[in-house]
Structure formats: C-alpha cells, structure tokens
C-alpha cells in the first residue's frame, strides 16, 4: 500500500511539473499564435498607427497584400532628402501592402540613388494609388520596389523624374481620364508623355521588343534597371532623341537593332554613340540564292563592310553536308566560306538540306587555314539538320548569333570552338549531345539556355574558357537533375531555372 501511495504521489508531481512547463515554456508559442490574419481597420491617419497595426498581423505574401488606406497625411513628410519614403516603408513591418493614398496630399520626393539598397521593406509595396493632388514623383523615388505591380497616376500628375521606377520589373501603369500629360499603352507597360511621342519609363521591358516609330523621344533612365531586356528594334528614319546618357544603364546584354543604312548615323549621333558597340542592323534578308555560285558572284561585287553592317544572304535547297559525297572530307564547309570574298555576312540557310551540317574529322590542322571564316556574323541553321559537324564553325571570331533547328540532337566536338563574339545560345529540347570543346574559348559567352528536359551528354571541356559571368539556364523542374548529372555538375553553381518559368 505504501508503495502504491508513493507511485501515486510521483504521478501528481510529474503532472504538476508538466503544467508548469507548459505555462512558462509555451508562452512564446501562445504569443505568436495571437497574431491575427486580418487588420482591425484598413484606414490610418498616421504612420505610427499603421506600424503598430501591421505588427499585430501574420506575415503574408505579395499575392495577398494587406489593403491599406492612408488619409489626412502629407506624403512629402514620409522621409527625408536621402529617402523620401523611408518612414513609410519602415511602417510595413515586413508585410506586403497594397497602398491607397488618395486621401493624402503632397508630392513624392527624390531618393539618393546610393541608398536604394538600404531601404527597409521597399520590396513589400505591391500596388500604389496616388493622391488626387499629387503632382510629381522624384528621381529614383520608387526604385527598388521590386514587388510593385501596379500604380495609378492621378489627373494632377505632371512630372515624373528619371528612374522613378527603376527595378520595378513587373510594373503596369494606370492613367485615369483627365490627365493631359501622361498616357500608356501595351496593357500599361509603357509610360508616355507629349501625346505619346516620348517614352518616359518601360521598366518591365524584357526579351526582344520593337519601339513604335511614333515615339520620337526617350526620356533619360527610361530603361534603367530593366536587366532582362535583350534586344531593342528601332525602325525609325531619324534616331529618337535621347534625354541623356543613362537611358540603357544597367541593361547589361542589350543589342540595339536599326535599319542597316542608319547604323553609321546612330553610331555618330550623341548620345547614341555612347552605345556604339551594341548598335547592329536589322536583319533584312535578301532574295534567296539556289547555289553557292550565285552567293559567290553577289558577294564578290560588294564593297567592303564591317561586322556591324553585314550583308544578308539566303541560301535555299543547297546541301551543306558532304557526308558520303567524297568531297572535302577534311573541311565540310570550306566551299561556303570561300564565297564570302572578305565581306562580313549573315546567312539564312534554314531552307538548305542535309541531316548533318558539314562533316569534318580528318585533319585538324586544316581548320586554321579556312578563308574568310572570321566574316560570318549570324547564321540560321537548316531546319532539316540533326547535327552540327566537327570543327564546322571553329574560329568564326565574328559569329554573334546562331539559330539552331528544332530537331537538333548533337553538337559535335569543337563545333563552335573559339567563336569569340558569341554571347548567348539557345539549345533545343531535342538535344542529346554537346561534344568535347564544343564552345571552348568562347570568351564572351555568358548565357546558354538548354531546353532539353533530359540533360544532354556533356563531354569534357565543352564550356572551357567561356566568360567569367557564364550562366546556364535549364527547365525549372530539371535544375536539380542537371546539377547532379555527370559533366553538368561541374557547373552546378551557375545553373539556373529558365527565366519566367516556375
């Protein structure tokens, strides 16, 4: 009986200690659990009350921001000369916010560009509706608001300074009726003024875009901070007027395409001449040639040119493979290169034939003796081809772009070795092999986009000697597979998901 009482007493002691520990150790969990999933009010007349209220709600996402309305406040008092909105962003408490300040007065001041990265929670602003009396937005004012997807400008808005929306890569603009200064088009992507003739801002510009010929001016900083813009096409008779030298700043891989006869004009006109290295001519493909003789005669009589103004030639129904023909076994494309006559050329051979582009594997030393190999600037490869032959584009030092056919399965060894002007390639989903040293010493090659779901075999040295900023982009759901694959895992640190894919 005494033993039973002892056991019973011990049980009571254990129970009491358990309750004690739950009361004290469990307190922090209880406090965290007290956060609400919604605000008691959505309207605030001070930043302090906004800050206190947002501190009581749970962390949210950009897809479900807290709807906030500020009233009876002066926007100009939200910060200081260094950062006009510092106190506003500090009040967000790390929560995503959709902000309505139509009940406020004042203008949004400028931001000192050097403190953009020090802003607290600027990336938490998802949308902004400005006050009806707001007339201006200062330079860099909303820079770094990377989650900002919509902004509504009031009828009173008359001035927007340079780079006001830098880094807002998903931003769309809304202009209500009554604003006679600004307008927008392309689903709100582009912000315009002067009756649509001057481009003010296009921070969401990506990929390849064409600027309307109706736009005759581009405000300074218009594309500033649009890092995914690759190609801007301008089919203008007269170069648009640039508002300064910062229009394309922080757009690292841009090519500006203009009509071929206008290239010298753009390169000689300030401040366009600051971007001279990126200005190229629009591909205006000529009448197709049905044999190499015709291409040869055409180029022979052309005056000398440079790589920025290549001649554009189209070959049709010409076999570019010598496999099984007994011809040129030591150099599958020698006859093609011989037709260039020392002229820079861009070639469209999409309609040519042959499963293999060239076929060269006997005498490596012959490839350093090819005539005019350094004159090829662009090439569109045959749609029928499944393979690029060995050494076919070796030492084509002016080759800037290659369009690969959709059915390509292999790029053989040394195929693009020492193509020192090549910056980016996109490889098709059908690719199964990248041969040894295929892109060796392509010193400017920064981006390789591989669309194959199954990682192609990657042989040794395929990307040796490429640019130090080299990055490989693969399907988003296959990133880990590539990183684990033999050959590819050597580049695990620079393998990324293809931009825009989940």
Residue 347's beta-bridge partner residues?
313, 379
Short-list 62, 69, 127, 48, CA closest to 94: 62
In a domain, 1, yes or no: no
For residues 331 and 238, membership in a common domain is answered with no
Alpha-carbon distance 183 to 155, whole Å?
11
- Of 392, 481, 405, give the one whose Cα is nearest residue 437: 392
Query: Could you tell me if residue 197 is inside a domain?
Result: no
pLDDT bucket at 308, cuts 50 / 70 / 90: confident
Q: For residue 11, is it within any domain?
A: no
- The model's pLDDT over 461-494, given as tens digits with 9 standing for 90+, comes to 999 999 999 999 999 999 999 999 999 999 999 9
**What phi and psi, each to the nearest 5 degrees, are found at residue 74?**
-105, 115
Last residue of a domain, one of 164, 180, 196: 180
pLDDT of residue 25 exceeding 60: no
Torsion-angle region of 299 (φ positive above 0: left; ψ -120 to 50: alpha; else: beta)? alpha
Same domain, 92 and 228: no
Cβ within 8 Å of residue 312, ≥6 positions away:
283, 284, 285, 286, 345, 346, 348
Asked if 289 and 313 count as a contact pair (C-beta separation under 8 A), the reply is yes
Same domain assignment for residues 276 and 150: no
Contact 124, 96 (CB under 8 A): yes
Residue 217: phi and psi, rounded to 5, are -145, 150
Check residue 19 and report its DSSP letter.
H
pLDDT at 120: 85
Mean pLDDT calculated for residue range 276-302: 84
Phi/psi at 402 (5° precision): -135, 130
Does residue 343 sit in the same domain as residue 461?
A: yes
Q: Is residue 3 part of a domain?
A: no
> Is pLDDT of 368 > 80?
no
Q: How confident is the model at residue 327 (pLDDT cuts 50, 70, 90)?
A: low
**How many domains does one find in the chain?**
3
Q: Say what the pTM is.
A: 0.65
Structural contact between residues 398 and 376, judged by C-beta atoms closer than 8 angstroms: yes
pLDDT exceeds cutoff 80 at 366: no
Q: What percent of the chain has pLDDT over 70?
A: 88
| Residue 438 DSSP SS3 | coil
* Close Cβ partners of 379 (under 8 Å, ≥ 6 residues apart): 346, 347, 348, 349, 393, 399, 401, 402, 403
pLDDT at 334: 81
The model's pLDDT over 144-169, given as tens digits with 9 standing for 90+, comes to 999 999 999 999 999 999 999 998 98
Confidence class of residue 433 from pLDDT cuts 50, 70 and 90?
very high
Q: Which 3 state secondary structure label does DSSP give 479?
A: helix
Residue-wise pLDDT tens digits, 163-211 = 999 989 899 999 988 899 999 987 899 999 999 999 999 999 988 888 9
Pick 199 or 6 by higher pLDDT: 199
Do 315 and 450 belong together in one domain? Answer: yes
Q: Is residue 461 part of a domain?
A: yes
311 and 246 co-located in one domain: no
Q: Are residues 210 and 297 in the same domain?
A: no
What is the domain extent for residue 311? 292-497
First to last CA, the chain: 69
pLDDT category, 449, cuts 50, 70, 90? very high
Is 270 within the bounds of a domain? yes
pLDDT at residue 15 tops 50: no
Contacts of residue 133, defined as CB under 8 A and 6 or more positions apart, other chains included, come to: 105, 106, 154, 156
> Could you tell me if 370 and 226 lie in one domain?
no
Region class of 391: left (phi > 0), else alpha (psi between -120 and 50), else beta:
left
User: Is residue 358 included in any domain, yes or no?
Assistant: yes
Q: Are residues 276 and 297 in the same domain?
A: no
Mark which of 281, 309, 324 sits at the end of a domain.
281
- Peptide bond connecting 271 to the previous residue in cis, omega within 30 degrees of 0: yes
In the block, residue with structure tokens 């399965």 = 409
CA distance 68 to 365: 71
Domain boundary among 145, 180, 215: 180
**Which of 220, 308, 214, 213 lies closest to 265 in space, CA to CA?**
308
Q: Rounded CA gap, 267 and 349, in Å?
A: 30
For position 77, which CATH number holds? 3.80.10.10
* Residue 5 belongs to some domain of the structure: no
Same domain for 473 and 450, yes or no, is yes
Q: Quick check: 211 and 238 in contact, CB under 8 A?
A: no
pLDDT of 450 > 90? The answer is yes
How does residue 59 score in pLDDT terms, banded at 50, 70 and 90? very high
Mean pLDDT for all residues in the chain: 87
pLDDT exceeding 90 applies to what percent of the chain?
A: 60
Q: Do 272 and 313 lie in a common domain? A: no
CA angle 60, 61, 65 (to 5 degrees): 80
Q: Do 90 and 156 have their domain in common?
A: yes
Task: Compare 86 and 30 and report the one with higher pLDDT.
Answer: 86
At 32 the pLDDT is 46
Coil/strand/helix, residue 341: coil
Judge contact between 165 and 139, C-beta under 8 A.
no
């Amino acid at each position: 009986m005494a033993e039973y009482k002892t056991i019973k007493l011990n049980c009571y002691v254990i129970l009491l200690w358990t309750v004690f520990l739950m009361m004290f150790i469990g307190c922090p969990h209880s406090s965290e659990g007290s956060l609400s999933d919604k605000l008691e009010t959505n309207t605030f007349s001070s930043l302090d009350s906004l800050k206190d209220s947002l501190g009581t709600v749970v962390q949210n996402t950009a897809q479900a921001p807290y709807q906030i309305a500020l009233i009876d406040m002066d926007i100009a008092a939200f910060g200081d000369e260094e950062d006009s909105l510092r106190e506003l962003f500090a009040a967000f408490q790390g929560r995503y916010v959709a902000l309505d300040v139509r009940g406020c007065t004042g203008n949004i001041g400028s931001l000192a560009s050097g403190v953009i990265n020090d802003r607290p929670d600027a990336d938490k602003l998802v949308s902004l509706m400005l006050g009806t009396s707001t007339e201006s937005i200062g330079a860099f004012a909303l820079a770094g608001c990377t989650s900002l997807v919509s902004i509504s400008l009031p009828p009173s808005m008359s001035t927007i300074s340079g780079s006001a929306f830098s880094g807002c890569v998903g931003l769309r603009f809304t202009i209500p009726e009554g604003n006679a200064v600004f307008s927008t088009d392309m689903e709100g992507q582009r912000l315009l003024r002067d009756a649509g003739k001057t481009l003010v801002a296009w921070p969401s510009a990506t990929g390849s875009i064409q600027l309307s010929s109706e736009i005759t001016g581009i405000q300074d900083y218009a594309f500033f901070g649009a890092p995914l813009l690759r190609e801007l096409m301008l089919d203008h008779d007269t170069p648009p007027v640039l508002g300064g030298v910062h229009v394309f700043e922080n757009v690292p891989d841009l090519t500006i395409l203009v009509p071929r006869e206008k290239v010298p004009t753009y390169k000689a006109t300030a401040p366009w001449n600051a971007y001279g290295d990126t200005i190229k001519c629009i591909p205006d493909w000529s009448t197709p040639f049905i044999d190499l003789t015709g291409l040869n005669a055409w180029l022979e009589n052309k005056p000398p040119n440079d790589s920025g103004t290549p001649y554009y030639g189209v070959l049709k129904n010409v076999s570019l493979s010598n496999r099984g023909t007994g011809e040129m076994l030591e150099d599958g494309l020698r006859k093609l290169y011989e037709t260039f006559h020392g002229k820079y050329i861009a070639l469209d051979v999409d309609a040519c034939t042959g499963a293999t582009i060239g076929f060269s594997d006997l005498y490596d030393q012959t490839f350093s003796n090819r005539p005019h190999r350094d004159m090829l600037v662009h090439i569109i490869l045959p749609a029928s081809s499944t393979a690029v032959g060995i050494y076919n584009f070796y030492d084509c030092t002016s080759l800037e772009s290659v369009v690969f056919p959709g059915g390509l399965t292999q790029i053989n060894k040394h195929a693009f070795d020492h193509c020192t002007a090549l910056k980016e390639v996109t490889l098709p989903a059908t690719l199964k092999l990248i041969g040894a040293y295929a892109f060796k010493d392509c010193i400017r090659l920064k981006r390789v986009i591989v669309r194959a779901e199954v990682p192609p075999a990657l042989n040794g040295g395929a990307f040796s000697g490429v640019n130090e900023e080299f990055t490989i982009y693969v399907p988003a759901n296959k990133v880990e597979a590539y990183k684990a694959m033999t050959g590819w895992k050597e580049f695990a640190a620079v393998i990324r998901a293809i931009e825009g894919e989940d």
